[in-house]
Amino acid sequence: MNRHVEEYLHYLSLEKNAAPNTIVAYRRDLSKYRRFLEEHDAADPETVTADLASRFVQQLQHDGLAARSVMRCVSALKGFHRFLLADGISRHDPTETLDGPRRTRTLPSVLTQDEVNTILSQKRLNRPEVDPDDARNLWVRDRAILEVLYATGMRVSELIILHQSDVSAEGGVVRVLGKGSKERLVPIGPSALSWIDRYKRDCRVRLHRRVGSNDVLFLNRTGAALTRMGIWKIVQTHANEAGIAKDVHPHTFRHSFATHLLEGGADLRAVQEMLGHADIATTQMYTHIDRAYLKEVHRTFHPRG
């Protein structure tokens, strides 16, 4: 079974161009599945029944795994058994009728335009000049990061691998490497470009001398590329200091980017392209947020609202 799992993951990586995070998650899910099958004397794929696969999913739910994680696991199982069937390793697919829990789509938390402005207008992020006694002036970097997140709606996984060469000030766009290694061009406004330029001039040049991090744009205090957690801490720190009561994380800026575009009348297909969504149905959740915004405007300003 181990060999079959590795062959499947290899197939996903090379032929389906699956994202590294997907490979990691599927390996973890299929390892749980393999252990479950071994405990039930079904280590050979041919001996796996539909009932056994269903009991595995039920156990995941009983163990308290989130519905989204269970659905991902079901997807891993279905893909794995289809692979075995297509490769002639197995003669049947025990997951053909397997269903996971129904996911209830919750609307993501977004910042209002005033809240975004409150975060970006803090004194700490708006000093007239850098401190000559501060060897790093990391506040310039933080402001540039927040500006880029809001200006482009990119994912944190995309931000941490963004290179200096991906930013075209002349063209007013950034090249973003998204899920499945798919590239897209996203417009970026003058404010974000100005702060990137200031960061590169007043901050990055000092950080880069410490370690040398090639062309990665955003660096940590030691000169290495920032991590997801590093970006998360930066966002949360400045949101808390601005007095924002909501739970703000990097993806909140992505949700806010999409919502504010739609509130302003942007075309749904254009927003889909900028977010890098493969399916427009994923982008459509923001139209629900937009309707919620319209209802709030109606309640606030209509004489009988």
Tally the domains of the chain.
2
Owning domain of residue 190: 113-301
Q: Tell me the pLDDT of the chain (305 aa) as tens digits.
A: 889 999 999 999 888 888 888 899 999 999 999 999 999 999 888 899 999 999 999 999 888 888 888 999 999 999 999 999 998 899 999 999 888 776 555 667 899 999 999 999 999 898 888 777 676 789 999 999 999 999 999 999 999 999 999 999 999 999 999 887 889 999 999 999 999 999 999 899 888 765 555 789 999 988 899 999 999 999 999 999 999 999 899 999 999 999 999 888 888 899 999 999 988 888 887 877 666 666 776 677 667 65
Would strands 183-187 and 173-177 be described as parallel, antiparallel, or unpaired? antiparallel
Give a yes or no: residue 211 inside a domain. Answer: yes
Task: Confirm whether pTM is higher than 0.75.
Answer: no
Q: Which of 145, 115, 166, 116 is nearest to 232 (CA)?
A: 145
Structure tokens at 260: 């504010």
Q: Residue 303: what are its φ and ψ, rounded to 5°? A: -60, -25
Specify whether 163 is located in the same domain as 245. yes
Decide: 183 and 231 in contact? Cβ < 8 Å: no
Specify whether 128 is located in the same domain as 70. no
Specify whether 19 is located in the same domain as 143. no
Give a yes or no: residue 238 inside a domain. Answer: yes
Specify whether 138 is located in the same domain as 247. yes
Helix (H, G, I), strand (E, B) or coil at 148: helix
Q: Which of 123, 103, 218 is nearest to 163 (CA)?
A: 218
Task: Write out the catalytic residue numbers.
Answer: 155, 179, 251, 254, 277, 286
Decide: 176 and 166 in contact? Cβ < 8 Å: yes
How long, in residues, is the chain?
305
Helix (H, G, I), strand (E, B) or coil at 225: strand
